[in-house]
A and B are shown apart, each in its own frame.
Chain A
């Protein structure tokens, strides 16, 4: 994450309004990341899926896509942060040659383990053999997209990412519609998969163009899994925590089995996904703030330490950083809060617009609140990451995961009117916990900075 700042500041230094907007847009793209992409893609397909699709086929397809996104995100999570850290360290040492080597190594891991997982996961679903094969391919391609994005965001090439997604998503939608009349559901999925493949190869081409070829296997990367085991756990469990309430609802008593054993929960998923879209502005604003202004304070703070200043001027700099953090958080809360409030009031109109059931309105409203919490939680986590407090982030992640499991289960027991509250309260609890850790860490910042130094 820390890598993006420089590019953003460069853009912000250009005075034109346009460059400001593009910086914010890029920021939104990168920060909201994969999650947002998946929701967007589904929304597009969901809105335009009228062309003679049988409801059964539509359900199978939609559920497949949701499953693929959910499980690829969780699956790739274990490698994501570790590789990011590895690249950042290597780049810092000026070793950019390692990029493709690390990429090919992680590709091998992701594909090998992913193939086993994908096949194992889909095998028992009652779907045609062809459909299963295409689904596994889609699973691998989407997993590779997430992986490639990690490497591309390391070089701050956000334009390529946006372009690739724009073109690829269009291709997905286009070819899906094109192939459905010819091959039915399998054609539809194949068409969709093709578009995702376009995204992947676009990103891949960009990556290959950027870096010189290297060795295929990088054994050194593995030491990072041991050294930064917290990152592997955080990556996987944070994504799991985000998804676990949805997964649990697939198995709720009032969920529906599309085909054995592909399950969905019609009432729950829709509002949650839509609510999540509202966090885009926050992520954009926050990212720009943290990566520019906060980064400067952060940088100055350490610069003061290294340039042999006395403690009181170091502390002064820290006060500046705290002030800035508080300001940004207030700003985020105002913007996101107003947006969320607005959406809550506009919920009935929105529900009609996107074709949800009026019954889902309270769920959408609570999901909106939940999303607000979740985005604030991400903010806190990113700040903790800034100070390299991996153990703290891991603690937050585990709290998030456990509370979401427990509270979601509880809300399921309490019945439909309580749906969404589990997720929302889980976000709230994790948010409070993470803010406690952030404020404690900032307060003890110089202690953490100095005392964590190894003796030699």
Chain B
């Protein structure tokens, strides 16, 4: 594998491009497509080879020699009685764990090197006596009353992917770029340690936070009966085990990254909380391809004489989007504005029960004539006819809906999540000077949402101003081509850099 070919950028991807469609994947796709002068390669981490790995994107020509790593595939472990872990190295592994527990990552480099020199054969790590003794030691049999068998398997499941990836052959590149912490981030650390080339990290969502949500909801992680009975504030020991591991992986990745990029301020705060150096973090919001949206709303739109209004809600009908709050807000608006039409645009079959509840709520509020569930549609077909976009999500990162609304010159009302405020009120001083392109409301607050909608709809001047501000904002700060330029400059800077120690 390890040919001497050197690539400009090696992306380290976990469960995304080009095999899984989604926001991050599309972002990567556009990034590569936007820099034809650079050669990209990638190491893609997928769950298992049992699931078929099909390209979901028409990958650009400058994206080559992709390498797939399966996280949970079975490993054939051959026992070799002559391959043992030396006492000294075992002692180092002990010390490494001890330090990691105290957030001291100073031994990481040494560990990676030892692993890559085959000083810790997998068979010994999982079947050997010395590794066993360490496992028991770390379990602390004298004071621990957690299930031992679960400790054992949690240990195995958490460590196996790491042990498998540490000795992996990585493509040679001038810059390594990981799009998340976690396992891909750890590969980045390995690459950084072994090659001395800089590692960049871009986080869209915060990996640790996402894993925390996932793990605290996971039922397969064992918890003692009495813990289940308690209020859900405390996580079980094995959930903590998993989360701690992801936290440590994140910390490693933050520390070894030369620079950390994220989409908006909230994420930056979370990263700092997880141990990232604030000086390394830079906010680079996502860009949007303007061609599809600019000019959707006719320039000569008559804001003054308008009496009929159309409001759009873009998103899947699921609890996280909080459609119910939106519906209640619509009720408030419908009392004041007679000729109102509301489109809820997004698939309804994902959470059928929730959809059912929403339909019932529509009936209850007597909004049957006002609200229409369109199902999955092309939003661009609807945008020209809309006067306002509303987003009531409980959680978002940097919602594309708002960027599209801005771009199309349609004001928006959004809950204060993710980067909604930045998108509607401006992030930097120059941005804020453009004026608001919508109103930010509190999460799950139908009254203020309703009032904000009314305020915008009933004030033609405000609407016209917001429309212009939105278009200007996207043109100036969220242009996809600018995003590509930014990253191109970053890549070029780091590519030119000398090898790091």
Contact = CB atoms under 8 A, between A and B. Distances in A.
Interface of A: 305-306, 308-312, 314-315, 444, 447, 450-452, 455-456
B128 A451 contact: yes
B126 A308 contact: no
A307 B146 CA distance: 11
B129 A308 contact: no
B356 to A, nearest CB: 39
B239 to A, nearest CB: 15
Contacts of A312: 141-142, 144-145
A309 B148 contact: yes
A336 B472 CA distance: 99
Given A305-B149, A310-B146, A451-B127, A315 B141 contact: yes
Interface of B: 74-75, 77, 126-129, 132, 136, 139, 141-142, 144-150, 152, 156, 160, 222, 224
Contacts of A305: 148-149
16 contacts: A308-B149, A308-B150, A309-B147, A310-B146, A310-B148, A311-B144, A311-B148, A312-B141, A312-B144, A312-B145, A314-B148, A447-B132, A450-B152, A451-B127, A451-B132, A455-B126
A306 B150 CA distance: 9
A311 B127 CA distance: 18
A456 B145 CA distance: 26
B128 A310 contact: no
Which of A311, A315, A451, A455 neighbours the largest number of chain B CB atoms within 10 Å of its CB?
Answer: A311
Nearest to A312: B141
A450 B128 CA distance: 11
A452 B126 CA distance: 9
Contact of A310 (B126, B144, B160, B222): B144
B77 A306 contact: no
Given A314-B148, A455-B156, A308 B77 contact: no
Contacts of A315: 141
A447 B144 CA distance: 18
Nearest to B75: A455
B219 to A, nearest CB: 15
Which of B129, B148, B160, B224 neighbours the largest number of chain A CB atoms within 10 Å of its CB?
Answer: B148
A308 to B, nearest CB: 3
Contacts of B148: 305, 308-311, 314
A447 B224 CA distance: 24
Nearest to A447: B132
10 closest Cβ contacts across the A-B interface? A308-B147, A311-B141, A311-B148, A310-B145, A447-B132, A451-B127, A456-B74, A451-B132, A305-B149, A312-B141
Contacts of A456: 74
B411 to A, nearest CB: 55
Contacts of B139: 311
A335 B142 CA distance: 40
Which of A305, A306, A447 neighbours the largest number of chain B CB atoms within 10 Å of its CB?
Answer: A447
Contacts of A308: 147-150, 222, 224
Contacts of B74: 455-456
Given A311-B144, A455-B75, A455-B160, A450 B132 contact: yes
Contacts of B147: 308-310
A311 B147 CA distance: 7
Contacts of A444: 129
Contacts of A455: 74-75, 77, 126, 156, 160
Nearest to B146: A310
Contacts of A451: 126-129, 132
Contacts of A314: 148
B340 to A, nearest CB: 58
Nearest to B127: A451
Which of A306, A310, A314 neighbours the largest number of chain B CB atoms within 10 Å of its CB?
Answer: A310
Nearest to A308: B147
Contacts of B127: 451-452
A183 to B, nearest CB: 60
A447 B59 CA distance: 49
Nearest to B141: A311
Nearest to B133: A447
A456 B76 CA distance: 10
A305 B150 CA distance: 9
Nearest to B225: A308
A311 B74 CA distance: 28
Which of A305, A308, A312, A452 neighbours the largest number of chain B CB atoms within 10 Å of its CB?
Answer: A308
Nearest to B122: A455
Contacts of B129: 444, 447, 451
Contacts of A309: 147-148
Contacts of A306: 149
Contacts of B149: 305-306, 308, 450
Nearest to B142: A312
A51 to B, nearest CB: 61
Contacts of B222: 308
Contacts of B152: 450
Which of A305, A312, A450, A456 neighbours the largest number of chain B CB atoms within 10 Å of its CB?
Answer: A450
A310 B149 CA distance: 8
A445 to B, nearest CB: 12
A69 to B, nearest CB: 39
B437 to A, nearest CB: 53
B266 to A, nearest CB: 39
A315 B141 CA distance: 10
Contacts of B160: 455
Which of B75, B128, B149, B152 neighbours the largest number of chain A CB atoms within 10 Å of its CB?
Answer: B149
B225 to A, nearest CB: 10
A387 to B, nearest CB: 16
Given A311-B144, A311-B148, A315-B141, 9 more contacts: A309-B148, A310-B141, A310-B148, A312-B141, A312-B144, A312-B145, A447-B129, A450-B132, A455-B160
A206 B392 CA distance: 77
Nearest to B147: A308
A311 B136 contact: yes
Nearest to A444: B129
B428 to A, nearest CB: 51
B472 to A, nearest CB: 57
B446 to A, nearest CB: 46
A315 B129 CA distance: 17
B158 to A, nearest CB: 13
A456 B77 CA distance: 11
Contacts of B150: 308
A308 B222 CA distance: 9
Nearest to B157: A455
A91 to B, nearest CB: 25
Nearest to B74: A456
Nearest to B155: A450
Contacts of A452: 127
Nearest to B139: A311
A311 B224 CA distance: 15
A75 B103 CA distance: 63
A312 B144 CA distance: 8
B362 to A, nearest CB: 48
A456 B141 CA distance: 25
A317 to B, nearest CB: 12
A310 B152 CA distance: 11
A444 B75 CA distance: 25
Nearest to A310: B145
B460 to A, nearest CB: 66
A237 B129 CA distance: 30
Contacts of B144: 310-312
Contacts of A447: 129, 132
A305 B148 CA distance: 7
A433 B329 CA distance: 82
B385 to A, nearest CB: 55
A271 B147 CA distance: 56
B153 to A, nearest CB: 9
A13 B139 CA distance: 40
Contacts of B77: 455
A308 B152 CA distance: 11
Nearest to B140: A311
A229 to B, nearest CB: 15
